[in-house]
A = this chain, B = another copy of it.
Amino acid sequence: MIDKHLMKLRARDEIDAQEEAAIRAGVRETIRFPAGATVVREREVLDYSTILLSGLAARQQDMRDGARQILELHVPGDFTDLHSFTLKYLDHDIVAISPCTFAVIPHTHLREITERFPHLARVYWFATNLDASINREWEVSLGSRDASARMAHLFCELYVRFDLIGMVRGNSYDLPVTQQQIAEMLGITAVHANRTLQQLRRDGLVEFGRGIVTIGDLDRLMRVGDFDTGYLYLDRRRR
């Protein structure tokens, strides 16, 4: 059930059998949300965190004028709101982009296993720092890259992240979002997202339709998106 989660942890560090058992022991229940549902609301005080098991989820901030900024996308295996363990409440919403299932891990259990296994505390601390690294890379995109570079960068990032959990088939992966939502990630309008998408398709870099991304030319897409995997910390190291 949380196999993808362990797969992802093990891409970056070693998790021994005891630690694995301790993690698994914390999963008491799973919850399910339909597409569009709000999983965690800003400022809501939490006593549990959730691991995304299936579906696509996002962190997002609603603006006063009705606009919305998507801050990060979560793929299966991600601890979507592990940061609430120390923050206690979030500064943003967590929403289900497509129908999602989550494993629920009580904060009491996180506390217990991180005290019993200090290494696990560092592994999960690392996991939140990795999310922060993704946030920073999105800052770079939003602040310093134009629309097509942002879009190319996003498709590259998701390619790598889906690949890590075995969810890439050939050069395609599922991305069940609308162009409106892509626009909300990139900080542009839906109309402009549409035109940018057409540009990338015309150039043979990538196609997106019916919720499926198909990479036409990864090398060139990476160059256009100024993409470098460094910020995803793909090397295994003892934390």
Which residues of A come within 8 Å of B, CB atoms? 42-43, 59, 61, 63-64, 67-69, 71-72, 83, 85-88, 91-92, 111, 114-115, 118, 121-122, 125-126, 128-133, 135-140, 142-144, 186-187, 226, 230-231, 233, 237, 239
Shortest A187–chain B CB gap in Å is 3
Do A91 and B187 touch (CB < 8 A)? no
Q: How far is the CA of A88 from the CA of B125 in the complex (A)?
A: 12
Q: How far is the CA of A43 from the CA of B72 in the complex (A)?
A: 23
CB neighbours (8 Å) of A125 from chain B are: 85-86, 121, 125, 128
CB neighbours (8 Å) of A143 from chain B are: 69, 138, 142, 186-187
Sample (8) of A-B pairs whose CB atoms are under 8 Å apart? A43-B230, A63-B144, A69-B143, A69-B144, A72-B136, A87-B126, A87-B129, A115-B118
Shortest A222–chain B CB gap in Å is 12
CB neighbours (8 Å) of A135 from chain B are: 132, 135-136, 139
Shortest A142–chain B CB gap in Å is 4
Q: Given the known A-B contacts A144-B63, A239-B86, are A69 and B128 also in contact in the complex, defined by CB atoms under 8 Å? A: no
Shortest A209–chain B CB gap in Å is 24
CB neighbours (8 Å) of A68 from chain B are: 144
Do B83 and A129 touch (CB < 8 A)? yes
CB neighbours (8 Å) of A126 from chain B are: 86-87
Q: Given the known A-B contacts A118-B121, A142-B139, are A86 and B129 also in contact in the complex, defined by CB atoms under 8 Å? A: yes
